Amino acid sequence: MGFPGTWMTESESVVYRVVPKCACSTIGQIMFYSDHGRFFDGDIHDATAGLHKWAQDASKPRIETNVKGHATYAFTCVRNPYTRILSSFFDKICGIQRNGKRYRGNLVPKLMFEYGIEVGGEDGKEEFDQIKSFRRFLLFARDTIRWRRPMDPDIHWSAASGHVSTFIVNGGRYDKVIWTERFNDGMQDVLDAVETPHAVDLASIPRFNESEGHGPKRAHPVEEYFDDLSMHLVYEIYKRDFEAFKYDFENPANKMPIGEIDLDELHAKLGD
């Protein structure tokens, strides 16, 4: 299976396992900058040069050698499951994508018809009952993950632990797992541990939130989207995420981690 979703700087200074909706655009741009002294002009996900990616055939042997030999510092970044699934809803379901179209073609019309979801009209800007529609989306997300219907789960709402684990199962080992909620601290730890061709001053790095502006603004505090039933669904989908990455399931209002990530425990739990 190899190492899907894995990026590496061309200088081989650092390896990163992408987890969608977890600061991946910013991390990719930091990696690109650390090699080239400039940012990629556009969405880093579209870059086909200047950064090794598992999706590029020429990069695969370099990545595999580095990861399996643990020759390069490896890290990933995770996010609170409550805010991550909310972000996926507003970006991918309600939002218009950067190509000017809805995400995955007929997905949104299908959700509107089969689950009664509203998305804010043609451009995602009209008012609608965000809480009701999000909870219906959550049922859909659970159905895709639990039963793989009406479609396979999408990478943007499948569990972060699933993305993180493929790296471990196929022979990789992480040196660091950082939290999106403490991004600067975690990313600084990564930069302090590696040598890069160009120095990176995190304080001056912009946030490359490529999904921002795609859809409607969240109108309510995070916790208002989650009643008892939706919390139960979130736990059913993301139990391993809460446990492995030390997030607070009991309180959707608390996006911050409540413990330290034990890397040995993480590799044991996710390496099965």
Residue 127 lies in a domain: no
Does the pLDDT of residue 123 top 80, yes or no? no
Identify the pLDDT of residue 121: 83
Confidence (pTM): 0.95
- Dist CA 272 CA 267 (whole Å): 9
Residue 129 lies in a domain: no
User: Does a structural domain hold residue 145?
Assistant: no
Burial of 253 (0-12, 13-18, 19+ CB in 10 A): exposed
Does residue 185 form part of some domain? yes
Give the residue among 236, 267, 260, 263 at the shortest CA–CA distance from 81.
236
Residue 68 located in a structural domain? yes
128: in domain: no
Confidence of residue 212 (pLDDT cuts 50, 70, 90): low
Residue owning tokens 């977890």: 22
Distance CA 31, CA 149 (A): 36
Q: What share of the chain in percent tops pLDDT 90?
A: 86
Per-residue pLDDT at 126: 84
| 23 neighbors 77 (Cβ within 8 angstroms) | yes
The number of domains in the chain is 1
266: in domain = yes
- Between the alpha carbon of residue 66 and those of residues 10, 36, 42, 56, the distances in Å are 12, 20, 27, 16
**What integer pLDDT is reported at residue 266 of this predicted model?**
97
Q: What is the pLDDT of residue 15?
A: 98
- Residue given tokens 């972000």 in the structure block: 87
In a domain, 200, yes or no: yes
> What DSSP character marks residue 91?
I
Query: CA 119 to CA 127: how far, in whole Å?
Result: 9
Full residue range of the structural domain in which residue 245 is found: 1-99+155-217+237-272
